[in-house]
Structure 1
Amino acid sequence: MRRAGVVILAGLLGAGCAAELPAAPNEVTTADGVVRGSVSGDAVVYQGIPFAQPPVGALRWTAPKPPQPWQGVRDATQPGPRCAQGVGQPGAPGETPASDSEDCLYLNVTTPSTAGTKRPVLVWVHGGGLRSGAGSDYDMRRFAAEQDVVVVTTNYRLGAFGFLDVPGLDGGGQFGLLDQQAALRWVRDNAAAFGGDPGNVTVAGESGGGDSVCAQLASPEAAGLFHRAVIQSGTCGDTSVVEAILPGAGPVLAAWKPAAVAEPLGVALAGSLGCTDPATAVDCLRGVPAPQLREGADKSGAYYSPTIGRGVLPESPGQAIAGGAIARVPVLTGIVEAEGALFLSSGGFAEKPLTEETFTGMVTAAAGPRAAEAIAAYTPKGGATFNNAWSRVVTDRAWSCANLRVFQGLSAENPTYAYEFADASAPNALAVIPEDLRGKATHGAELPYLFTLVRGQPALTAEQEELGRSMRATWAGFMRDGTPGPWPSFQDKAAITRLTTGGTTQVDADDFAAAHHCDIWAR
């Protein structure tokens, strides 16, 4: 029943006889058993392939275990369950559903429908703030077929299921990252069976997925599992998105937490769920039903994110980059022009706009001794709202300036290529952007230019489609040889490549810093 052996001969073309390439198989033998995918146009898609045992029962909050082999042919035409999570992007076109499943460590593979070998492999780590999303939210058929590459999208444990930490819990606060590494090991062992090159793997992600790539770059345990990295709107630095939005929130909402901060959060959650004895808290928590655990974590108000200082992450990615303790691989990394606008489109900001007094107080808390300068720089003019002004603060503090420092740090040791996606009319499937926050590209707006969003793929204009084709070719070129075509490296020319429907331009790093008031936000 394998399509691998079927060769379709073309008709005579003039004086010669041309033959099409043989069709790729829709049955593939992996290290654990045979999977049967589905042929869809120019691509073959294999979904719901287990890369680890279900982390349920006694395996909750343990490192992922290798999957159990199976007999016969496993149906791989439907995605596996989403990892336990609440509703993602509520009310947005790309709203994602809630789930209480812990049996969720599955990945999906998309290949061109023509047979091939040694194709570059992209491993895509989904975003969602480490608390929502799934690999199946992305349809990779267009990207794989158009660019002749293999694409893997993966799930990983989220929220308290992936990042809970309590005293004495081995691997505490790092299970989601361990899942990602297990998926990368699966790719190393199985990519060739799908026509991919296990020696040419690019790990990539956006938002929380970008943060995850930062972590894998800094993780000694990920060494050798990938050969290039793409970070889209990540926060490798030590200012988290939540901290930037809510100044003064403190280390509880930090992106990267030492155990001294992470463990008390876990203890508090355990206590709220009736697990009050520290000596038995882990066993007690493993007995809490998934829906109850998820709801308790959601109500806690804590941000469950990676613990640093041990195991997978000896230090934060920002510290590792500054000290040169990262994987020596080429890096393509960038942001969008108005990252912060998406985060002020909900969460109470849209319903209760900022007043001048509140805005001034928030800027003061964020800028500290540079407060007067920051207030002068960001106070809105020409009819702009204080929400718009605060979105600029969030963008500059958490992304533009923080990432400029990352560009500089990465380029000291790694070939680094920096970009800013700046299509001012780019639609966004992740939120309904209020009128006063429109006019620039917002967080996640580049995604539908690269891939097809299963939920909420927006319509693009002809010019935007052309930009998308150019970006896909650039990303695939980077996957092939570690360079994004004609873009200059940050080492050779300290500049950021701006991506618009009018083409690419270069912005000098000093000019970029001035435009985003990076002197105010210097650490």
Structure 2
Amino acid sequence: MSAPLVETRIGAVIGETLGGVRAFKGIPFARALRFRRATPFPAWDAPRRCTAFGPVAPQPGLVSDDAEADCLTLNIWTPAAIEQPLPVLFFIHGGAFIAGAGSDYDGTHLAAHGPAVIVTINYRLGPLGFLQLDRLGGPLSEASNLAVTDTLAALDWVRDNIGTFGGNADAITLIGQSAGAALVVTLMTLPQARGKFRGAIAFSVPGRGIMPKPQADEIADRFLTSLKLAPRDAARILDVPVRTLLETAERVGRDVADHTAHGTLFGPVPDGAIIPCDPRQAVAEGAVREQSLWLGSCRDEMTMFLKSTPPAAMIRVTEARIRSQFGDPGWERLLTCYRDTARADEDAYEALLSDAMWHRPLDELAQLQDQARGRVWLSRFDHAPRLEPFRSQGPTHGADNACLWAHPPTFLDRPILGRAGGPMTLADIEVAARLQACVLRFARNGQPDDATHWPSFTASGRQFAVFDSPFRISSVKDTPRDEAWRLLKGARRLIGVTPRADRR
């Protein structure tokens, strides 16, 4: 079989066909000068061979000065035989905003079983993608939310070109996990993305998924100080080696992680320009009322962070925020409730933190979408894949992602993450098949399952689907834990308590 050739608006690309699926890897969608917004990639004349993944964005352990400008590539998988334009899944990878790559995901299985067109992208990471320096002006005036503008550039490229790959440009679904999910929630609310996608799936959004601007400015100041650069000399950061920038990020991160929004150094920032406001405010105002939304999390999200050595800053940040919000007595009341209602195999402390950082913020975002008269589905992944770290830690952060990208009967290797794959059990295959089918169905028609099996979320019922064996529908409403949170919030409003973090 001859190699597939597809014409794009900037030149032809040559891919490869394997097992009835065409793959095009490492297609450049833009170029990135340091601390400048991405610009269109120059057109080429001769067909460009795209059978190998492009450069990985610079990140800890993977440092290349050449990759800084050329890391903005994307990968496309599509069935070899297409009878009509197919829905498109546009995936944004996670990695705490400092790591990861689109090349860690193989869309062959999803493309074949959709059928669908699968796209994974790279975007700039760490300081190169998230350091907020625009207020310093001059050559740094564009250094704001650069990673977000990268995703916008990739989305525009896909809109302009995906038709020639067999995709339907009017049926694009955004999908992301962890940091990628935070970028999806941000991207879906932006005026610049309006009308460019049909639905969005966000798995494991960390907290509110946004970095407050004062924190981002403080981190930028600390970053420059660590580099021994005064504000008037800030432009010299353009000449600092990539490795030094990454080392500085690690050093500053150790100093300030306990004081950041989610225990992480970077993230999207409401800057009033690229991101006009907090995405949750935009959802409440109806920004995605016309699009379908699916929000998901894993049951034991925090276990992975608790078991890291030392425990991740996210643990300390989350507990401190609860204590600040409700005081030490409120914290103890919540923890007592979780201990009294814990499953035999459940860590009450972990469950409380998982609810506070992951589950409840998603429930609240779903309520905002429902109250804005938009459609939304909520899910929780309760299955523990027989794959490390989930075999020993349970359905913790990333368990759903491992199943989403599996090629049954095998979990795939994750080279960038440094995680090996392996054989799947029958339960793994069952749950993964259901999750994949729901994602593909959502891409096709805007809902993950038949309404009789999985009803959409409502603020009055607060239903969510549980991906486990068996699949089931549950509700947050009127549980003892939900009631404990409700009473504490009500008491705080009643007596006018000011959170400690806001006191002057």
Task: Classify the TM-score, shorter chain.
Answer: 0.7 to 0.9
Once the two structures are superposed, the pairs formed by residues 58-457 of structure 1 within 5 Å of their partners are 59-87=33-61, 101-102=67-68, 103-166=70-133, 167=135, 168=137, 169-235=140-206, 238=208, 255-258=210-213, 260-276=214-230, 278-281=231-234, 283-301=235-253, 303-326=265-288, 328-349=290-311, 364=323, 367-368=326-327, 370-379=330-339, 388-412=347-371, 413-423=373-383, 425-427=384-386, 429=388, 431=389, 438=393, 440-452=394-406, 453-455=412-414, 456-457=420-421
Alignment correspondent of 2:498: none
Using the size of structure 1 for normalisation, the TM-score is: 0.80
Relative to total residues, which structure has the larger helix share, 1 or 2?
2
CA contact (8 A) 2:363 2:462 kept: no
CA contact (8 A) 1:218 1:327 kept: no
- In structure 2, distance between residues paired with 1:173 and 1:390: 37
1:477 to 441, 454, 471: 441
Following TM superposition, by how much is the alpha carbon of 1:195 offset from its aligned partner in structure 2, in angstroms? 0.4
SS at match of 1:446: helix
Following TM superposition, by how much is the alpha carbon of 1:495 offset from its aligned partner in structure 2, in angstroms? 0.7
RMSD: 2.9
| 1:48 maps onto 2:26 in alignment | yes
Once the two structures are superposed, the pairs formed by residues 13-24 of structure 1 within 5 Å of their partners are none
Task: Decide which moves more: 126-135 or 165-174.
Answer: 165-174
Alignment correspondent of 1:496: 464
Residues 107-162 of structure 1: per-residue CA shift (max 9 Å, x gap):
00011122343100000000111111000000110110111100000000111110
2:8 to 19, 30, 33: 30
Task: Decide which moves more: 197-206 or 110-119.
Answer: 110-119
- In structure 1, distance between residues paired with 2:320 and 2:293: 38
Residues 226-268 of structure 1: per-residue CA shift (max 9 Å, x gap):
1110011113x53x6xxxxxxxxxxxxxx3222x331232122
SS at match of 2:442: helix
Task: Decide which moves more: 160-169 or 128-137.
Answer: 160-169
- Alpha-carbon spacing, 1:488–1:360, altered in 2? closer, same or farther (3 Å): closer
- Give structure 2 stretches of 5+ with no counterpart: 257-264, 407-411, 415-419, 493-504
Following TM superposition, by how much is the alpha carbon of 1:206 offset from its aligned partner in structure 2, in angstroms? 0.5
SS at match of 1:497: strand
Give the counterpart letter for 2:472 in structure 1: T
- In structure 1, distance between residues paired with 2:194 and 2:147: 17
Following TM superposition, by how much is the alpha carbon of 1:379 offset from its aligned partner in structure 2, in angstroms? 4.9
CA contact (8 A) 1:427 1:445 kept: no
Give the counterpart letter for 1:320 in structure 2: A
CA contact (8 A) 1:329 1:415 kept: yes
- In structure 2, distance between residues paired with 1:451 and 1:521: 40
CA contact (8 A) 1:171 1:311 kept: no
Following TM superposition, by how much is the alpha carbon of 1:366 offset from its aligned partner in structure 2, in angstroms? 6.7
Q: What's the % identity of the aligned pairs? A: 30
CA contact (8 A) 2:289 2:369 kept: no
Give the counterpart letter for 1:147 in structure 2: G
- In structure 2, distance between residues paired with 1:175 and 1:347: 31
Following TM superposition, by how much is the alpha carbon of 1:367 offset from its aligned partner in structure 2, in angstroms? 4.3
CA contact (8 A) 2:390 2:399 kept: no
Following TM superposition, by how much is the alpha carbon of 1:66 offset from its aligned partner in structure 2, in angstroms? 0.6
Following TM superposition, by how much is the alpha carbon of 1:427 offset from its aligned partner in structure 2, in angstroms? 3.9
SS at match of 1:418: strand
Following TM superposition, by how much is the alpha carbon of 1:384 offset from its aligned partner in structure 2, in angstroms? 8.2
- In structure 1, distance between residues paired with 2:445 and 2:385: 29
Following TM superposition, by how much is the alpha carbon of 1:180 offset from its aligned partner in structure 2, in angstroms? 0.4
- In structure 1, distance between residues paired with 2:485 and 2:421: 34
Following TM superposition, by how much is the alpha carbon of 1:297 offset from its aligned partner in structure 2, in angstroms? 1.2
CA contact (8 A) 1:400 1:516 kept: no
- In structure 2, distance between residues paired with 1:361 and 1:30: 51
- In structure 2, distance between residues paired with 1:218 and 1:171: 21
CA contact (8 A) 2:63 2:242 kept: no
SS at match of 1:510: coil
Using the size of structure 2 for normalisation, the TM-score is: 0.83
- Alpha-carbon spacing, 1:497–1:517, altered in 2? closer, same or farther (3 Å): farther
CA contact (8 A) 1:219 1:326 kept: no
Following TM superposition, by how much is the alpha carbon of 1:506 offset from its aligned partner in structure 2, in angstroms? 1.3
Alignment correspondent of 1:91: none
Alignment correspondent of 2:417: none
- In structure 2, distance between residues paired with 1:330 and 1:473: 17
Give the counterpart letter for 1:319 in structure 2: Q
- In structure 2, distance between residues paired with 1:256 and 1:28: 40
| 1:467 maps onto 2:431 in alignment | yes
CA contact (8 A) 2:37 2:143 kept: no
CA contact (8 A) 1:217 1:327 kept: no
- In structure 2, distance between residues paired with 1:361 and 1:28: 53
Alignment correspondent of 1:20: none
Following TM superposition, by how much is the alpha carbon of 1:364 offset from its aligned partner in structure 2, in angstroms? 4.1
CA contact (8 A) 1:188 1:198 kept: yes
- Alpha-carbon spacing, 1:161–1:521, altered in 2? closer, same or farther (3 Å): farther
Give the counterpart letter for 1:377 in structure 2: C
- Alpha-carbon spacing, 1:171–1:226, altered in 2? closer, same or farther (3 Å): farther
Following TM superposition, by how much is the alpha carbon of 1:295 offset from its aligned partner in structure 2, in angstroms? 1.0
How many residue pairs end up in the alignment? Answer: 456
- Give structure 1 stretches of 5+ with no counterpart: 4-24, 88-96, 241-254
SS at match of 1:62: coil
